[in-house]
A and B are shown apart, each in its own frame.
Chain A
Amino acid sequence: MANIRELKAEEVYRRCDPAQFPFQTTEELDELQGIIGQPRAVAAIRFGIGIDSEGYNIFALGASGTGKHSIMRQFLEDRAAREPTPPDWCYVNNFAQPHRPRALRLPPGMGVQLRRDMERLVEEVRTVLSAAFESDDYRTRRQVIEEEFKERQEKAFESLRQRARERGLALIRTPVGLVFAPLRDGEVMQPDEFQKLPEEERKRIEQDVEVLQKELQDVVQQIPRWEREMREKIRELDHEVANFAVGHLIEEVREKYKQLPDVIAYLNDVQQDILEHVRDFLAPAEQPTSPSPAESTPRSPAGSPSLRRYQVNVLVDHSKSNGAPVIYEDNPTYQNLIGRVEHIAQMGALVTDFNLIKPGALHRANGGYLILDARKVLMQPYAWEGLKRVLRSHQIRIESLGEMLSLVSTVSLEPEPIPIDVKVALIGDRLLYYLLSELDPDFGELFKVAADFNEIIDRNADNEMLYAQLIGTLARKDGLRPFDRTAVARVIEYSSRLAEDAEKLSTRMQSICDLLHEANYWAGENGHEAVTAADVQQAIDAQVYRVDRVRERIQEEILRGTILIDTDGERIGQINGLSVIQLGNFSFGRPSRITARVRMGKGEVINIEREVELSGPIHSKGVLIMASFLGSRYVADRPLSLSASLVFEQSYSGVEGDSASSAELYALISAIAQVPIKQSLAVTGSVNQHGQIQAIGGVNEKIEGFFDACKARGLTGEQGVLIPTSNVKHLMLRSDVVEAIAAGQFHIYPVDTVDQGIEILTGIPAGKRDETGQYPEGTVNYLVEKRLAELAERRKEESESAREEEE
C-alpha cells in the first residue's frame, strides 16, 4: 500500500499569489492594448479584412461571451476609419419607365444636396412658371391664338349667316344643334304662313335650306380640326414660354453637377418632363383632386402629389460619415437586409413610387462592413438566401417577398439594382459554422475566412498580469471601483475554475465581466473603496446561492436518507459514483450509489440502465469496455461464466457518459471477490480495456458534491475521492474543500490504474501475477480469479450433467 498517493492542499487549488503583482489596485495599471489570448482569431480577422478578393467574408466562431462581437467591431471600425467614405445613393424617377426607378451614385454628401436642389428647383419652377403664364405677354399671345380660332369660326358662320340672310333665312341655335329657318319680319315664319306661300317659293326655300345645310355641315366638321390646330399652337407657345422660364434654372443645377454624367442625364429628363407637364405646376397646390386619400399621401414640401416625381429619395446618405461604414443589423429580416418598397393605401388600392423605396442594412453598409449574428440571419425566412444572393451577384436588387411568393399582387417597382461592395462578418457559435460548412455548398465559397475564438488561454505570469490589466480596463470602462490585487488574484482563480483547468484561464469575458460588476456591488455594500478578494468571494458565493436550490435539495435528501448514500462503513458490491448535473449555467456534482450483483451465468454483464433504455450510448460503451477488461484479465482461457448486473440506484432520468465506468468496475470486482468497499470514498474516472483510468470532465464539481454530502454528516477524516491522475491539473476546488484537505479531513487520491483504485477502496493489495502467472494469495485479483474459475468449473459440471441427462 506504499504506492498510494494523496494530493496535498496546494495540488488541488492553484493559488494566484497577490504578491506577484507590482501594484496595489488596478487604478495604477495602464489601459490594456490589444486583445488577450486570441492570436488565431485576430490573425484571421486581420487577414479577412485586408484581403480584397471575392468570397473573403468572415465568420467569427466561438463560444458566447468570448468577445467575438466587440473584437470584430473594434477591428472593423479601426480599419473602416482609414478607408474612403463610400458614395451616396439616391433613387430618382425614371421618366421613361416609372416602374423602374433609377439609381444615382453621388459623391458622399451630395445626395442630400441634390434632394435640396431638386426641392428648390421645383419650388422655383412653380413660381416662375405661374409668373410666366400669368404675364400679360403670355396672355396676349394666347388670346391672339384663341381669337384667331374664334375669328376663323366666326367668319365661317358669318358668311353662312350672310348668305342665309340674302335668301331670307336665319341660322338658329337649338339646344343641341343649328337650324336654318325662313324669317318673316325678323321672326321665324309660322308653319301655317309657310304653307300659305306659293309652291314655287316654298320649293326655293327648301332648296336654299338644303344647300346651306350642306355648307353648315362642312363648317361644323371643320371646327374640331381648327380647335386641334389651336391647341397645338397653344402647346407650342406653352413649351416655348416654359422653356425660356425654366431653362436657366435647370442650367444652374446642371452646372453644379456637371462632373456627374448620370445626374446630368437625369436633369435633362427632368427638364423634358417639366416642359411636357407645365400644367401640373400651374394647378393650385391646395386643390387635391380627391380629398380623402390625399391626406394619407405624404405631402412633399413641393406640395401637389404629382410633383412627387421630381423628388430625390436619398437612400444612403454619407454627409456625416467619416470613413467606411460599419453597420450592425440587430434584426436581420429579409427586408431589413435587402431593403423594401413600401406601399400606401389610396382609395383602397395599394400604390407606391420610388419615394417609398427604403434601404436595407446592405445599402447602408455598401462600401464598408456589415456585422450580423449568424443565428438571427438563419432564423429569418429568406434572409440567408437573400444575403448570399447579394454577395454572389455583387448587387442589391430589391424584390418584394410578397411578390416572390405570389402572396400579394399589387403595383410594385423594380428599382434599378445597386452595385455593392461589402464585407460581411457573421458571428455565431461553432456548431452553426460546422453545420453551414457541411450543409450549405455556397457557404464555403462566400465565407472563406473563419476566425476561431479560443475559450481558454495559458495561465502563466505574463497572462496573469495581462488579466489584471484587463480587469482594470473593464473596471474603468464600466465605471467600477478599482480592484485591489487580492481581488485580482481571486478573479484569476475564478477564471481558472471557469476554464476547468488550473493551468488555463477563461476568455469568456461575459462571465468575468458579470463577476466584476457583482463584486463591485458587494464592495459598495461593504463600504470598500476598492474591491477586495472578500468582495469577489462574496459575489461568487452569492452567484452560487442564487442558483443552487436544487443542489441544496439533493444534499438535504441525502442527509435525511431519502437518497441512499453511505459515507462510512464497508459494503460488498456497492460504491459511490459521482455525476454532474447542469442546470442553466450552474453545474454541481451529486454522488450516486452504484451496485453490482453476480451469479453464475453465461458471461454477460447486464447494464440495467441499458435494458430499460435509460443509458446513453457512451455509458453503454463504458460498461462493455469494462466487461471486456474483466473477462480478458481474469479468465482469458475460459468462458466468463457469470451473470452480473449493474445499476445506478435511485436514478430515474437516464445516465450518460463513461466517467462512472471505473466505479462500476470496482463494484463488480467487489461483488465477484466478495471484498467489501469503503463507503467513505467516492470514485470517478473512465476505464479502458487495459484497466487504465482515464480523464473525465467536471472533476471539481464531482469532488465538491461528495464533500458536501460528507460534510453534512460530519467529516470522519477517512473520506475522500478517487480521481484519474490526468485530472489533477484541472483541480480548482472550493476553499472549504481545500481547507479540509489541508487539515487531513478529506482526501483526494489520483489513480492511474484499476489496481491502484481497488487497493485504496478495499485496503487489500490488488496483487500482481508472479512468475507462474498466478496472483498471490490474499490479494483482490487472486480472489476474483478464484471465484471466476469456480464459476467456470461449476458451469462446466452443470452443462456436462445436463448433457448426460439428455443422453
Chain B
Amino acid sequence: MLAYMIRRLLYAIPIIIGVNILTAALFFYVNTPDDMARKILGEKNITPQAIENWKMDHGYNFPAFINTKEKGAAVVTQTIFFQKSVPLLWFDFGRSDRNNIDIGAEIRQRMWPSLFISLPTFAIGVTLDLFFAMMLAYYKGTYIDFLGLVAGVVLMSISSLFYIITGQYVFGKALRLFPISGYDTGIHAFKFVVLPVIVGIMSGIGAGIRFYRTVFIEEIGKDYVRTARAKGLPESAVLFKHALKNAMIPVLTNVVVSIPFLFYGSLIMETFFAIPGLGNFTIQAIQSQDFAIVRSMVYLGSLLYIAGLILTDVSYTLVDPRVKFE
C-alpha cells in the first residue's frame, strides 16, 4: 500500500506543476499586472507612475516566465511565475495583493469556521441520506417510497440559494429560532452553525437519497440477499446489516472524494451566512481580483482533489478485501 501511495504522490507532482503553470498563464492572459494594480489602487488619483510603483513594490515588474534581461539562473528565477507561483510548491503562499496579509496565516485561521459548518453538514447529511435511502428501499413499493422519491426530486430541483434564503426567512425571521447570519468563536459558534447545517443538509438530501436508494435497491436484488431472506432474516436485518456493508463501494466513491474539500468550505453558503471561512475568502479574492489569494486557493484545490482520489482508492481496500493495490 505504501509503495502504491508513494507512486500516486509522485504522479501528482507533474499534475501540480502543470496546474501551477496553467493558473499563472491564464491569470496573466486575463488579468495583467497593470489591471491588478488599477483595481487594487482604487479609482482616485491613479497615475501611470503609481501603477508602475505598485508593480515594483509587489514584485510584478518582472516578465511572466522568462527574464531576458538577467543572466544564468536568474533568467528563470527573476520572473513573476518563479517569484509568485513556485513558492506554492512548499506551501509558501506569500502575501495578498490587495492588503498585504499573510495568506498562509489567513488560510489556517479560516479553515476552522469552514470545517465547523462543512463537517457536521457532511457527517449528518451522509448519515441521513443513507438512513432515508435505506428506509425507502425498505418501504419499496409503498406510498412512502413514492412520496420519498417525489420529495427527493423536488428537493434536488431547487437551487441551494433558495434553501439559504428560505431557511433564513423561516427559521431566523419568522420562527426566530436561530440567528439569521453571523459567526462567533469557540462554544459561541454553535448557535450560528445550526441553521447553515440544516440548510446544507436540505440542499443535498434530495440527490443523496435518490442516489443511495438506487444503490441499495440494486444491492438487495443480489443473490446473497435472497439467501439471507430465505434463511428467514427480518427485512431490517437484511438491509441494515448485509446490504449496507456490501453497498459501501459506490457509497465510498461518492463520499471519500469529498472529504478533503470539506475544509475548502462553501462559497455561497458562507457568504450568505457571514461565515468567515475559506469559501468566503475565495469569493472575496475573486471579486477584488486578488491574484495571490486566488492562485493559492486554486493550487490548494488541486492538491485536495488529488488527496481525495488517493483516499478513495485506499478506502476501497478497507471495505472490500478483493481490491488490491497494484
A and B associate in one complex: no
Residues of A within 8 A of B (CB): none
